[in-house]
Amino acid sequence: MSDKRILLIIGGGIAAYKSLELIRELSRRGIASRCIVTKGGQEFVTPLSVSALSGEKVFTELFDLDDEADMGHIQLSRSADLVVVCPATADLMAKAAGGLAGDLASTTLLATDKPVLMVPAMNVRMWEHAATQRNVETLRADGVEVMDPDEGAMACGEFGPGRLPEPMAIANRIEAKLSGGAVLYGLDSKPLAGRHVLVTAGPTREPLDPVRFLSNHSSGKQGYAIAGALAKAGARVTLVSGPVSVPVPQNVDLVPIETAREMLDACENALPADVFISVAAVADWRPSRAAAKKMKLKEGEGDPHPTLELSENPDILATLSRKKKRRPDLVIGFAAETHDVEDLAIAKLKRKRCDWIVANDVSGDVMGGAMNQVSLVTRQGIEDRWPRMTKEDVAVRLVARIVEEFDDESDQIAAQ
């Protein structure tokens, strides 16, 4: 990466301060940054701080005689290997989608002949607005890569998709684009060709009535990333997923479901499989009876605190682990815990009778976030503790470990 350079456009959002950490992380990897800071961006970070970290002059104005004479916005737009907009505000994306060129940032985006990566950050309502989604679709159709924002608490006090991904995740995406998107660990050689892998992802929804349900904060990102990595490794992938807003990876067969019982039926119908990976955050309980009509609270009438009777949902991981016929050769579960993570994962592996457990601490921003830190637990105990990394990198590393497991089995059979 020592010969790679990006042009970083810093937009006007409170997440702009994270661009400083991004510059530092890219520099650590040997990737140089030349920066444009918009007028709005200068309300959150100063050109001086950006220049100090990047070691380069910072550009702010389109009509600057010195800058135009020295470099010019045309040369600036083509002097890097990749143009990165971070944070990409709703306004900046709208200008780029519409082909406007009223300031240095939008003019540079219109004039560049280099790949463009946009990293959105905005209020959840702004992100979900139909106009913003139209602009995202337009940009992607024009060849611009738009990262999905993270989901979580925002500075405005609201919760949902719209948070800027962590700088480490952005740096990983930048490095992947600069290296041509090469798959790590040799997975591009299709080592899982001929294998069928069944993956579950996302939350389940257990209806209380026609409009309410019990669920959780699972975004499905980790499960979808694993499904995508498996497909790139050549596997035939069946992805059984609860309701999420994550794009389906290429060459993955999606089976959408809502409830835990529907997920179990879909998994059993998808067998036989060589590997089963239970990533989904399945609801342990469901209402014993779902109301046929929306439940109402009439003022002055009835019980203001109705009792909710629950029934236990089927245990999908345990059910597939204990199958006598058509059991997958390798059954992998996920243990999302908020405390005593590894101890509880070891106990879960024994209780469910699966082969591996991927243990992760979800007490922070893992659910909905871009990063994850996991430990791999096998029947022999804790095999490895992986560093904090993106969910995509966790997926690739897990798939590489699966490939290694099958290679070891093949070697043992050949030796007999």
Instruction: Return the active site residues.
Output: 156
DSSP H/E element including 285 = strand 285-287
Kindly state the tokens that stand for 74: 């045309």
Contacts of 270 (CB under 8 A, 6+ apart): 198, 238, 240, 255
C-alpha closest to that of 376 among 263, 277, 233: 277
Report the first-to-last Cα separation within the chain, whole angstroms. 45
Distance in angstroms (rounded) separating the CA atoms of residues 394 and 390: 6
Distance in angstroms (rounded) separating the CA atoms of residues 175 and 4: 9
DSSP H/E element including 24 = helix 18-28
C-alpha closest to that of 178 among 33, 77, 81: 81
Distances (CA, A) of 231 to 34, 195, 249: 36, 10, 8
Helix, strand, coil percentages, rounded to 5, for the chain:
35, 25, 40
Q: Are 7 and 71 in contact (CB under 8 A)?
A: no
Sheet holding 116-120, edge to edge: 58-59, 32-37, 5-10, 82-88, 116-120, 145-146
**For 339-405, what is the HEC assignment?**
CCHHHHHHHHHHHHCCCEEEEEECCCCCCCCCEECEEEEECCEEEEECCCEEHHHHHHHHHHHHHHH
Three-state DSSP at 203 gives strand
